[in-house]
Amino acid sequence: MEPRLDLRRSPIAGTGCYALEPIPEGTSIGEYTGEIITDEEADRRYDGREETYLFSIDGGRCIDATRADHNMKYVNHSCDPNCEAPRGES
């Protein structure tokens, strides 16, 4: 069962995702999906933009969730992150 989450305005920047209840360690909260692009393509697309939804993976690539329709792009955008992404197949 996925934890209950709420999207709302973040006092730091844009939209934030907030847990509505404690989330036990090791709990999956969802999957970050989007277009897989190179770091160079990300730089080209978003140079100078303050708000992006990029998740670094391996080999100089990232997942671009800017156009994705899911809440995971708002998770763990923090100066003190407390989530980890499992190493999966890419």
Query: Could you tell me the sign of the dihedral formed by the alpha carbons of 62, 67, 71, 76, in that order?
Result: positive
| Interval 2-50: pLDDT, tens | 678 888 988 876 888 888 999 888 888 888 899 999 999 999 999 988 7
- Classify 40 in phi/psi space as left (phi over 0), alpha (psi -120 to 50) or beta: alpha
pTM of the model: 0.77
Work out the burial of residue 73: count CB atoms within 10 Å of its CB; fewer than 13 is exposed, 13-18 middle, 19 or more buried. buried
| HSE (side-chain half, CA atoms, 13 Å) at 7 | 8
- Go through the domains of the chain in sequence order and give each one's CATH number: 5-74 (2.170.270.10)
**pLDDT-based confidence at residue 60 (cuts at 50, 70, 90):** very high
